[in-house]
């Protein structure tokens, strides 16, 4: 009996030209449909987005810069096409960045990850917040929006770990810091321009972003939400306090460049020129929390490195108190200290209610989807109370441990950092900015609120910068 030979089944492989042709054809049909349904602006925007997206998927550095740019300039923008879950542009950018990062390990282009001790604490914090999220599902079912926001928060936290691994040399780190500062100055100029325009024109410009998921109607913000009082600068960050929180971190990072020998901007006067609009925009946000945080950050820099700043800060504070054009800001600050304005009274009420929530659910918190009791709620204007409410006191302690380790890791290497003119401006600026964020977090919640994904990403971006700068002290100069 003769053996029957079995030939392996061969599946024909499509030619590269065929695949390219099909991809181009599908893209053309998609662009045509978008243009027909949404107009030429949407179609042209989609074309640019597809080209930028393709480049990001081929270049890790481009993905990193794109993520930072979207976070800085249009933090609340979503895809203009409504689907089951409409992701924000930050979701798309950070997702693409992490995907390319993982592909580099899969293909062997990147080996031996660079790690720091804080990574273990960050992973533990991510796992614990996930546990709190799952435990909180019994209180309220999750919506697709909450699921998306929670996933975005986890990616933002992981961003700090990835950043330490990606920033493997000092020039790459300094370039990223320069990009952050330039984008921050650009956002400050946008905020100043919108503030200088009449309210109707500024409202119309901001409402045009509604196509990309931004709120429409009543966008312009005023002190105590009263149009008869002063207008507050908001840029494209929608909320003046969130805008102030963004400018705070970038402003401190930029301000540090004015003091150091080798600023990332190349020249000190360039750093000063970039810092000027940021400082003015912070003032126009009327954010008292951001103002206090900047003073704390400046004091940190002065005590650690530049003691001669202390008398200048005192003189500047005296001038700020007596100059005629700052009296409105001083009066509002004093009203807050004396609990005389509505915003402060509401904030203290939120603190009281939040402490009740934490007292009932101290271990895991109530999660991120809702509260189990009708007399308590999640919204509170404090980063620490927000974390304790959603993840319990245990989650708050893990969060504080991450920040304590971040500062310990850098301060332990301070004798090397201060001797490295290339690393000093990065670590000093990012560490001081983080300290400012921790002080500002007493009064605002944006760095830990999943509804403000841009602020959450910004905070963990600076954690990654501080850890990267400290780690690179062990690398060759």
- pLDDT tens-digit profile of 112-133? 899 999 999 999 999 999 999 9
Residue 44, pLDDT above cutoff 70: no
> Following DSSP, what letter does each residue of 249-286 receive, concatenated?
HHHHHHHHHHHSSS-TTSSHHHHHHHHHHHHHHHHHTT
Q: Between 90 and 138, name the one with better pLDDT.
A: 90
Q: Mean pLDDT in the chain?
A: 86
Percent of the chain with pLDDT over 70: 85
Ordered alpha helix ranges (H), 338-419: 342-360, 383-411, 414-417
Residue 163 pLDDT level (bands cut at 50, 70, 90): very high
List, in order, residues 6 or more apart from 145 with CB less than 8 Å away. 85
Q: Mean per-residue pLDDT for 265-292? A: 93
Which residues in 100-113 are b (16+ Cβ under 10 Å) and which e?
Answer: bbeeeeeeeebeee
Q: Mean per-residue pLDDT for 269-295? A: 93
| CA 449/CA 384 separation, integer angstroms | 10
Ordered alpha helix ranges (H), 197-232: 199-207
Q: Mean per-residue pLDDT for 22-35? A: 55
Residue 107, pLDDT above cutoff 50: yes
| CA 83/CA 144 separation, integer angstroms | 11
Residue 338, pLDDT above cutoff 80: no
Residue 79 pLDDT level (bands cut at 50, 70, 90): confident
Q: Mean per-residue pLDDT for 355-362? A: 91
| CA 432/CA 440 separation, integer angstroms | 12
Q: Looking at residue 240, what is its pLDDT?
A: 92
Q: Mean per-residue pLDDT for 219-243? A: 89
List, in order, residues 6 or more apart from 329 with CB less than 8 Å away. 283, 286, 291
Residue 17 pLDDT level (bands cut at 50, 70, 90): low
Q: Looking at residue 460, what is its pLDDT?
A: 97
Lowest-confidence range among 4-8, 135-139, 219-223, 388-392?
4-8
Residue 343, pLDDT above cutoff 80: no
| CA 261/CA 267 separation, integer angstroms | 9
Residue 16, pLDDT above cutoff 50: no
Residue 84, pLDDT above cutoff 60: yes
Residue 327, pLDDT above cutoff 60: yes
Q: Looking at residue 29, what is its pLDDT?
A: 58
Q: Mean per-residue pLDDT for 140-151? A: 90
Whose CA is closest to 302, among 178, 412, 435? 435
Residue 2, pLDDT above cutoff 80: no
Residue 374 pLDDT level (bands cut at 50, 70, 90): confident
Q: Mean per-residue pLDDT for 257-277? A: 95
Residue 298 pLDDT level (bands cut at 50, 70, 90): very high
- Other residues' Cβ atoms within 10 Å of the Cβ of residue 218: 9
Q: Mean per-residue pLDDT for 1-22? A: 50
Residue 33, pLDDT above cutoff 70: no
Residue 39, pLDDT above cutoff 90: no
Percent of the chain with pLDDT over 90: 59
Chain centre to alpha carbon of residue 212:
19
The sign of the dihedral angle between the CA atoms of 165, 171, 172, 176 is positive
Q: Looking at residue 254, what is its pLDDT?
A: 97
């Amino acid at each position: 009996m003769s053996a029957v030979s079995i030939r392996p089944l061969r599946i024909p492989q499509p030619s590269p030209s065929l695949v390219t042709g099909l991809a181009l054809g599908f893209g053309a049909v998609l662009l045509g449909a978008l243009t027909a349904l949404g107009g030429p602006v949407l179609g042209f925007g989609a074309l640019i987005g597809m080209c930028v997206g393709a480049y990001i998927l081929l270049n890790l550095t481009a993905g990193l810069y794109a993520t930072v740019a979207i976070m800085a300039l249009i933090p609340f923008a979503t895809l203009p096409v409504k689907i089951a879950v409409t992701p924000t542009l930050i979701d798309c950018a950070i997702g693409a960045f992490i995907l390319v990062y993982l592909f580099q390990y899969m293909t062997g282009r990147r080996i031996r990850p660079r790690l720091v001790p804080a990574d273990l604490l960050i992973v533990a914090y991510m796992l614990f917040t996930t546990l709190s999220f799952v435990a909180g599902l019994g209180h309220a079912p999750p919506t697709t929006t909450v699921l998306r926001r929670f996933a975005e928060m986890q990616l933002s936290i992981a961003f700090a770990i990835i950043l330490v691994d990606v920033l493997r040399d000092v020039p790459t780190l300094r370039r990223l810091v320069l990009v952050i500062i330039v984008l921050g100055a650009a956002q400050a100029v946008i905020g100043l321009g919108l503030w200088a325009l009449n309210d109707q024109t500024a409202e119309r410009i901001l409402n045009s972003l509604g196509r990309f998921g931004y709120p429409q109607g009543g966008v312009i913000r005023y002190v105590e939400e009263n149009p008869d009082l002063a207008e507050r600068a908001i840029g494209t960050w929608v909320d003046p306090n969130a805008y102030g929180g963004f400018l705070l971190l970038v402003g401190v990072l930029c301000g540090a460049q004015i003091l150091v020998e080798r600023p990332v901007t190349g020249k000190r006067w360039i750093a000063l020129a970039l810092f000027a609009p940021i400082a003015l925009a912070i003032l126009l946000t009327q954010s008292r929390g951001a103002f206090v945080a900047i003073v704390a950050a400046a004091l940190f820099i002065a005590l650690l490195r530049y003691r001669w700043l202390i008398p200048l800060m005192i003189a500047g504070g005296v001038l700020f108190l007596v100059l005629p054009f700052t009296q409105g800001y001083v009066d509002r600050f004093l009203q807050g200290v004396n609990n005389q304005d509505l915003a402060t009274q509401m904030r203290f009420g939120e603190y009281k209610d939040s402490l009740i929530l934490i007292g009932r659910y101290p271990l895991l918190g109530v999660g991120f989807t809702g509260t189990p009791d009708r007399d308590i709620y999640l919204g509170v204007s404090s980063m620490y109370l927000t974390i304790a409410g959603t993840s319990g006191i245990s989650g708050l302690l893990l969060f504080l441990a991450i920040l304590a380790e971040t500062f310990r890791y850098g301060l332990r290497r301070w004798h090397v950092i201060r001797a490295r003119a290339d690393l000093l401006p990065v670590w000093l600026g990012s560490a001081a900015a983080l300290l400012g964020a921790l002080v500002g977090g007493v009064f605002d919640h944006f760095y830990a609120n999943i509804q403000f994904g841009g602020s959450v990403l910004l905070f963990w971006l600076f954690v990654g910068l501080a850890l990267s700068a400290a780690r690179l002290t062990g690398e060759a100069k």
